[in-house]
Amino acid sequence: MDTKFRGHRGMIVLMQFLSTEGPFCRDCGLGVFRHMTSRTLVQGWYGYASLIIAPITVLMNLARRDKVASLAAPQPNPHAPSHQPMDPGPRLLQRPMTWIGLLIPVALVTLVVIAANSN
């Protein structure tokens, strides 16, 4: 399956766009999706533009996840040497990084609101 999963890292003034392009089998695609998305949730928020780019990156990955998730389980290719499928690892919501990452924008918004309400 040809698709591309993206990552984003915001560093106040610098930002970094990451991507890993297929073709992916189901397991490799899910593995890359989970890794890139949970990392973006932790590292993606730090900068004005990044605050917008990070959720867009996550949504794009979620939309593409379905394409690889609906593939059949990878089978060894009988006609050619085939690669060992990647271990897709724990599901996105079973990764602590995902939850830490989801709390970061909440914490940032809370700080901004507190700062805006104090003289």
Query: How far apart, in whole angstroms, are the C-alpha atoms of residue 110 and residue 88?
Result: 34
Rounded CA-CA distance 25/6 in Å is 17
DSSP string, 25-65: -HHHHHHHHHHHHHHHHHHS-BSHHHHHHHHHHHHHHHHHH
Nearer to Zn ion, 22 or 55 (CB): 22
Instruction: Quote the least distance from Cβ 22 to Zn ion, whole Å.
Output: 9
CB of 8 to Zn ion, least distance (A): 24
Pair of tokens at residue 31: 């593995």
Binding residues with Zn ion: total (CB under 5 A): 3
Q: List the one residue from 44, 47, 85, 101 that touches Zn ion (CB under 5 A).
A: 85
Task: Say whether residue 25 binds Zn ion (CB under 5 A).
Answer: yes
Residue 68 binding Zn ion, by CB under 5 A: no
- Helices vs strands, H then E, count in the chain: 3, 2
Task: Find the part of the chain contacting Zn ion (CB under 5 A) among 9-17, 36-44, 85-93, 104-112.
Answer: 85-93
Does position 31 interact with Zn ion (CB under 5 A)? The reply is no
Which residues make up the interface to Zn ion (CB under 5 A)?
Answer: 25, 28, 85
